[in-house]
Structure 1
Amino acid sequence: MVGKLQNITTILNVIPRIFQLFLNISLVILGVILSVLLVKELMVFIQILIDGGNNDFKLFLANILIFFLYFEFIAMIVKYFKENYHFPIRYLLYIGITAMVRIIIVDHDHPVNALFYSLIILILIIGYFIINLTPRERSDHSLFTKKE
């Protein structure tokens, strides 16, 4: 009976490790794909700079922001491994803010939509402020502890 219980416990300990390994391998593959796309976007960006006759600033800015989105996703994957398999929420907020700024720059023909996108950016910034205000461990922060 004790041997069966140890086998079940061993199996239950192995299953999360298998899923973690699958997740890590998938993120490494995704990182490689994003790196290739980042280099490809850099080539497109260089081609736009070399092409002297094309003065489309919307295309230029859109490509710069797409480049930064790739860069932020790659940085988030790197941070995931450095933070012991944890995605910091602030990186997701950075990506959301960058994506919203990109949408405003590229598609600013409708003022009401630009206003909504700006409000979304404001909400993301407020969320970022709240995350930075709230400490990871409340006992170490003077705002949340009683002074005796």
Structure 2
Amino acid sequence: MHHHADTIGNLLVEGFHYLGLFVIGGMIAWASVVAFLDMLTSGHASVDDILLLFIYLELGAMVGIYFKTNHLPIRFLLYVAITALTRYLIGDISHHPKPDAGLLYLCGGIFLLALSVLAVRFASYKYPSSKPIDALGKVVNKTNSDL
């Protein structure tokens, strides 16, 4: 009975997982098309608009990687955050020509996120994951005969 309940539970979780990924991916595609059509109707694209499209691209890539590998790379979240802060920074500078302390905070935030990317990349290079994971997201136990 436990085996059947476990099987049904895994099936439901996998179904919800794929449904959620398709919904998120569809929403990202829809939002990017709407943003692109807004750019077309306005007759121009600003740097803010282009950075917004980059954010959608990075989110879409993150969903695609998560769909294929069942792992969410933290670097992509950091890239999205850097791009979002950069977009906000450009918008702030274009609307407020006189710099203030907010400019330093935004630049400091971008710098800290860039350092975080560096730390994550170094850690993944220096200490790679040694636990292989199968398609269902379960850790594969290697025996001595597999080595």
Q: With the length of structure 2 as denominator, give the TM-score of the two structures.
A: 0.73
- List, as ranges, runs of 4+ consecutive aligned residues in structure 1 with deviation greater than 6 Å: none
In structure 2, the partner of 1:70 is: 56
CA RMSD of aligned residues (A): 2.1
1:114 to 96, 103, 110: 103
CA-to-partner distance for each residue in 1:92-111, whole Å, 9 max, x for gaps?
A: 01100000001101123352
Larger Rg belongs to: 1
- Map residues 1-148 of structure 1 onto 2, 5 A cutoff: 7-48=1-42, 50=43, 60-83=46-69, 85-108=70-93, 109=96, 111-134=100-123, 135=125, 136-137=127-128
For 1:122 and 1:11, locate their aligned partners in 2 and report how far apart those are by CA, in whole Å.
49
Residue 44 of structure 1: how far off its partner (Å)? 1.6
For 1:10 and 1:123, locate their aligned partners in 2 and report how far apart those are by CA, in whole Å.
48
CA shift in 2, pair 1:61/1:118, >3 Å: same
Q: Which 5+ residue runs of structure 2 have no aligned equivalent? A: 131-147
Report which of the two has the higher share of helix: 1
Q: Which 5+ residue runs of structure 1 have no aligned equivalent? A: 1-6, 52-58, 140-148
Q: With the length of structure 1 as denominator, give the TM-score of the two structures.
A: 0.73
- Percent of aligned pairs with the same amino acid: 25
